[in-house]
Amino acid sequence: MDFSLTDEQQMIREAARQFADSELKPAAAELDKTGNRELLLGKLKQLAELGFMGINIDPDFGGTGAGTLAFSLAITELARGCASTATTTSVTNMVAEVIQAVGSDEHKNKYLPKLCSGEYAAGSFCLTEPGSGSDAAAMRTRALKEGDEYVLNGSKLFISSAEFAGIFVVWAVTDPDAPKGKGISCFLVEAGTPGLVIGRAEEKMGQKASVTNEVAFDNCRIPAANLLGEENKGFRIAAGELAGGRIGIGSLALGIGLEALDCARAYLQEREQFGKPLAHFQGLQWQLADRYTEMEAARLLLMQAAWQKDNGMPFGPAASMAKLFATEKANEACYVALQMHGGVGYTREYPLERMARDVRITTIYEGTSEIQRLIIARHLLDGVH
Ligand SMILES: Cc1cc2nc3c(=O)[nH]c(=O)nc-3n(C[C@H](O)[C@H](O)[C@H](O)COP(=O)(O)OP(=O)(O)OC[C@H]3O[C@@H](n4cnc5c(N)ncnc54)[C@H](O)[C@@H]3O)c2cc1C
């Protein structure tokens, strides 16, 4: 297998790395501490101008058209700088991909240029509800067809970027009598539509600058033309697009894990105890070797899933394996990297405590580790549920 990157992929990775070093790393601590919205929005706009909001979107619609592998490389580099910014970028790319995958020409022409150019600061993906997280098909938000409109009622929970998103991809039940998962449809809802109510932002453990809101639909009327794909066939859109999003979240976790380990590698060489640098203790050397090996394995799993997606192959189980492994191992990497810093790792003087908080959510959102195992096992044990 040829693992070498194309010139374009290398260029995108380099551009993301430079942006992370010059723009994100210096801002990450403030974003974490204050959640400074203007600062975040400024970074998102710059990222859009550099082509990072539609990495896998056709250039005809304003995207970069560079593919999933380039997307994965870019998100890893951005996450090295600031996980909050990388999450917002990853979810916005996923929203654009939903529109590209199942939207009509009108949808694509209307919304993709706005997402890719940064005219919309972000896109939101509205699936989770208070009563349905892992079991997303149990959602209760309703969409009732009335003439040439749908009327949406219900509420969504934990919606990334809802406060400043320009467009929302929303799942709702259109046939409550259908078997589970068969009566759900997917819609586009523009920000500012009457009845679309953005609720409070969650107070979170990490990724504090990436906003996570409740979203309610209170007799929210949208044109029937805002249906994405076919009526009652929306749940499979969610499943397919989440698989792509998981490559993004795995890549993001990899970036945080690698950055934490790089900090630890430097610290072990500068900090002395018992008369020599910590790097001389074999117990620490072996831990470092094991964690970097795991990060490399995660990188390869992510590249494989991205490559399968780019080549039109089934990639769901590979994306789940990559997300499961990358996010679990990145959490371990951050834990070990903080431990290697001793007491200072626990203080805000160093970025380790932020990384350890930021990485924690990656095993939870876009499908928990348990749900990834369920998807992988279903693939392995065809017919057993
Ligand atoms: C910061 C943040 C951002 C988010 N962004 C978005 C977003 O933009 N859009 C969106 O739609 N959602 C978003 N989410 C929601 C996220 O995807 C869900 O929180 C996640 O899917 C888990 O759902 P839950 O929280 O309801 O947990 P639950 O489903 O209640 O699960 C609780 C626990 O039970 C386990 N569990 C559940 N079912 C099984 C099973 N069958 N077997 C074994 N274990 C099981 C889970 O793995 C978990 O450990 C976000 C969440 C957070 C915290």
**236-381: same fold as 125-233?**
no
User: Does ligand 1 lie within 6 Å of residue 366's CB atom?
Assistant: yes
Query: In this predicted structure, what is the pLDDT of residue 230?
Result: 97
DSSP β-bridge partners for residue 222 = 150
Contacts 24+ apart (CB under 8 A), 36-41: 36/209, 37/164, 37/211, 39/209, 40/84, 40/85, 40/88, 40/209, 40/210, 41/121, 41/164
How far, in Å, is the centroid of ligand 1 from the Cα of 79?
Answer: 21
132 close to ligand 1 (CB < 6 Angstrom): no
Domain 7-120: what homologous superfamily? Acyl-CoA dehydrogenase/oxidase, N-terminal domain (1.10.540.10)
Q: Which atom of ligand 1 is nearest to the CA of 127?
A: 11
**Nearest alpha carbon, ligand 1 atom 50:** 158
Q: Which atom of ligand 1 is found nearest the CA of 134?
A: 29
Listed by start position, the domains of the chain span 7-120, 125-233, 236-381
Give me ligand 1 centre to Cα 238, in Å: 14
**Is 370 considered catalytic here?**
no
236-381: CATH, from 1.20.140.10, 1.10.10.10, 3.20.20.70, 3.40.50.1100: 1.20.140.10
Give the model's pLDDT for residue 162: 98
Report the CATH architecture of 125-233.
Beta Barrel (2.40)
The ligand 1 atom at the shortest distance from the C-alpha of residue 370 is: 47
Element (H, E) at 296: helix 282-310
Q: Report CA(134)–ligand 1 centroid distance (Å).
A: 5
Considering the entire predicted model, what is its pTM? 0.98
pLDDT at 2: 78
pLDDT for position 385: 63
- The ligand 1 atom at the shortest distance from the C-alpha of residue 204 is 1
Cβ-count burial 90-112 (b if 16+ within 10 Å, e if not): bbbbbbbbbbbebbeeebbebbb
Helices 235-270 and 68-81: crossing angle in degrees, nearest 10, is 50
Q: Among 364, 366, 373, say which to mutate for ligand 1: greatest number of ligand atoms within 8 Å of CB.
A: 364
φ, ψ of residue 121 to 5 degrees: the values are -60, -30
Q: How far is the CA of 374 from the centre of ligand 1 (A)?
A: 14
Burial 197-224 (b: 16+ CB within 10 A, else e): ebeeeeebebbbbbbbbbbbbeebbbee
Active-site annotation holder among 49, 203, 366, 370: 366
Measured in Å, residue 367 CA sits from the centre of ligand 1 at 6
The whole-number mean pLDDT for each consecutive block of 10 residues of the chain, a chain of 385 residues, reads: 90 98 98 96 98 98 98 98 98 98 98 98 98 98 98 98 98 98 98 97 97 98 98 96 96 98 98 98 98 98 97 97 98 98 98 98 98 97 75
